[in-house]
Structure 1
Amino acid sequence: MTLADRLLDIKRIYHEPEIERFARAREVLDRFPDAERIEVLSHQAIPGLYGNEGNVSDWVRNKREVLVLGEKKSLSARRNERSSDWIAPSTANGCAMACSYCYVPRRKGYANPITVFTNIDKILGYLERHAARQGVKPAPNQCDPVDWVYDIGENSDCSVDAMVSDNVADLIELFARIPNAKASFATKLVNRDLLTYDPRAGTRIRFSLMPQNTSRLVDIRTDKVADRIAAIDDFVEAGYEVHLNFSPVIVHENWLADWAQLLEQIADGTNDRTKAQLAAEIIYLTHNEGLHDVNLGWHPKGEDLLWRPDLQQVKRSESGQQNVRYKSPWKGRWVGQLTDLIAEKLPSCRIRYAF
């Protein structure tokens, strides 16, 4: 069974009116010729899919069987200055994987299949002009010492998106030739088709890693952590910059011992060339009361790790949602413990930031 067959069995494609005016839409429709096509007014408002609480029980089935095609109408690059300098306009939204801590479903309402934005030429043109306006990066920062970094996968996993359309291939080709910028995305999937692309150091892949004992409970439909580690050298050899995304760090009674084992796996499973260019970002878990309630309807086991009122405190988000994060004094100690452990077990890996 191929990777795409394991994750996707597209039976219904929701699409905006006249979507076939875009060549990318025609290509995607041709990939799934047997799928039912359903026209909707907007990719953001699909009756029966979004806002339907009954879809909780079909959480994974919708990811496997549903695809949405739409036009990205508002294009802007948003300042980030943490993992990247800029968040690029999305070329996709949603995911076929089902990580139970993912923040994207909080906004979409009980279903989170892949949406492909088909006006890719317009998005590519915007990005090229935006990078040109930035000129030479004036000083190094935690994102990159030389290039402006654009996150191209904030709301999706590009390794999955590349199985559905050529949007990711087009983005990687674009950043291979832009002289002052690079693309960046985090992934939990090893899509070896990406090894056939020619990134020419213009794309940074951040393999998301956590201890396997935790991953098997919350990283639903993703590749095994060991498989992700085993692929890192190959992606470096293919011309990608490869960083590590230790995210989310989930605290439990044996968490630090599990992380020590993971770091040893990485050290043993990567070569010197890879280690010399490794860097990592560390992000501790933020959960959400609404997402917790949704998860109880389809994957309650994961919530035993994610929802820990004894360890967490409430923090209101800018949008007014009730998020929970680890309690401040404890979290500071835990960040220090993990960074010290990385220095011991994987000393060549630079920590870009930790929070």
Structure 2
Amino acid sequence: MAAPRRLVEVDTIYMEPGVEAYERGREVLARYPDAWRIPVDSHWKIPELHGNAGNVDDWVRIKRTTLVLGVKKAMTIRPNGRSADFIAPSTSNGCAMACAYCYVPRRKGYANPITVFVNIDQIGRAIARHAGKLGPKTMPDQIDPVAWVYDIGENGDLSVDALISENVRDLVGVFRDLPNAKGSFATKYVNRDLLDYDPAGRTRIRFSLMPETVARVVDVRTSPMEDRIAAVDDFVRAGYEVHLNFSPVIVYEGWEADYRRLFEAVDARLSPAARDQIKAEVIFLTHNRDLHEVNMRWHPKAEDLLWRPDLQQAKLSESGQWNLRYKSRDKQLYLARFQEILGEMMPYCGVRYAF
């Protein structure tokens, strides 16, 4: 399958040692036979990409044309307790899209094109072993009433990754065969090839939504909001559990009215089957001074929405970075108002997680 030209058009591949020893590595290389191949010692240490401030001027081209192939070393599965029970080992890192609020550039440097890990079989076995040791989930919670949920897309967008390799199909297959677990990932891209993956209800896809007027500014190179909303019913029919990911919620003059219109648009498109299983998570914007400075060099218009010191306060994150979040007392009011409007417009849509 050919990837959409405007989103992914790989002409340069950085590859760690050993990539060609894996079937998935050979498959991806064969998909891009004319790409320039550059050996590197580590997918984390590529001076031309990571920490190179000059890449800000070429941000989108790098995302469209550059791919990194690596071998996942650590098979760590971390507890989460928010959107999922656990964070699974990543099968990718980085993204071909360029959302202005994305946290990955803060960790990996100025350019963060997709890194695909080729040892997918080892990752799948690690997940299966972990779930097998857990046994049944005996206590229902806000994450899921009966299944252990693994976030499989923490560091990228799997709908886009599926344009490059069969890793996502393989992950869906892993969870199809696990009676006590589900995979889960958020996406801003509608890839209808996933409709043929036969998830059998064991993969939860969370379509990220925000008002279209804001998305046009901050959701760079993503699927239009109308397409994401229209996809919900199709993915439910294909056997996915489909939830909504209202993230990030950005506060600006008129945001409440815009979300009311968004909820109205969603409500008008959902079938009874989709309504019966829909739930949402709500995550308000977290920003960062370093990312603000990066954005000011390539997309300053986005910072009119994201950088609001009058509304935000600094807070030390778990990773040791000073992030900006809406002032605590005000954020509680914003969150209450958001849930009030959602409850009015879509009373059938419960909120699993709000932050």
Q: TM-score, normalised by structure 1?
A: 0.99
List structure 1 segments (4+ residues) > 2 angstroms apart after TM superposition. 1-4
Amino acid at match of 2:88: A
Q: How many Å separate the matches in 2 of 1:88 and 1:296?
A: 33
Deviating more after overlay: 309-318 vs 60-69: 309-318
Q: CA deviation at 1:9?
A: 1.1
Q: How many Å separate the matches in 2 of 1:4 and 1:89?
A: 27
Deviating more after overlay: 239-248 vs 321-330: 321-330
Q: How many Å separate the matches in 2 of 1:75 and 1:264?
A: 42
CA deviation digits over 1:119-155, x for unaligned, max 9? 1111111111110000000200111000000000000
CA deviation digits over 1:264-318, x for unaligned, max 9? 0000011111011110000000000001100111111000000001100111223
Indicate the SS of the match to 2:207: strand
1:151 — aligned with what?
A: 151
1:325 — aligned with what?
A: 325
Indicate the SS of the match to 2:136: coil
CA deviation digits over 1:198-239, x for unaligned, max 9? 000010000000000111000000000111000100000000
Indicate the SS of the match to 1:163: coil
1:115 — aligned with what?
A: 115
Q: How many Å separate the matches in 2 of 1:243 and 1:129?
A: 26
Q: Equivalences for 1:48-127 in 2 at 5 Å?
A: 48-127=48-127
Q: Equivalences for 1:1-355 in 2 at 5 Å?
A: 4-355=4-355
Q: How many Å separate the matches in 2 of 1:46 and 1:354?
A: 36
Uncovered stretches (5+) of structure 1, i.e. residues with no partner: none
Q: CA deviation at 1:3?
A: 5.3
Q: CA deviation at 1:320?
A: 2.8
Indicate the SS of the match to 2:315: strand
Tell me, yes or no, if the aligned pair for 2:18 and 2:71 is still in contact at 8 Å: no
The alignment covers a number of residue pairs equal to 355
Amino acid at match of 1:94: G
Tell me, yes or no, if the aligned pair for 2:3 and 2:164 is still in contact at 8 Å: no
CA deviation digits over 1:332-352, x for unaligned, max 9? 111010101011000110111
Deviating more after overlay: 108-117 vs 42-51: 42-51
Q: How many Å separate the matches in 1 of 2:285 and 2:70?
A: 31
Q: How many Å separate the matches in 2 of 1:64 and 1:186?
A: 20
Q: CA deviation at 1:4?
A: 2.6
CA deviation digits over 1:26-58, x for unaligned, max 9? 000001111000000111101211111100111
Q: How many Å separate the matches in 2 of 1:66 and 1:206?
A: 26
Q: How many Å separate the matches in 1 of 2:292 and 2:2?
A: 32
Q: How many Å separate the matches in 2 of 1:341 and 1:304?
A: 25
* Aligned CA-pair RMSD: 1.0
Uncovered stretches (5+) of structure 2, i.e. residues with no partner: none
Q: How many Å separate the matches in 2 of 1:67 and 1:270?
A: 36
Q: How many Å separate the matches in 2 of 1:150 and 1:65?
A: 30
Indicate the SS of the match to 1:63: helix
Q: How many Å separate the matches in 1 of 2:171 and 2:299?
A: 34
Taking every aligned residue pair, what percent have the same amino acid on both sides? 61
Indicate the SS of the match to 1:246: strand
Q: How many Å separate the matches in 1 of 2:102 and 2:167?
A: 22
| Shift in CA distance, 41/2, structure 1 to aligned 2, threshold 3 Å | closer
Q: How many Å separate the matches in 1 of 2:137 and 2:186?
A: 23
Q: CA deviation at 1:17?
A: 1.7
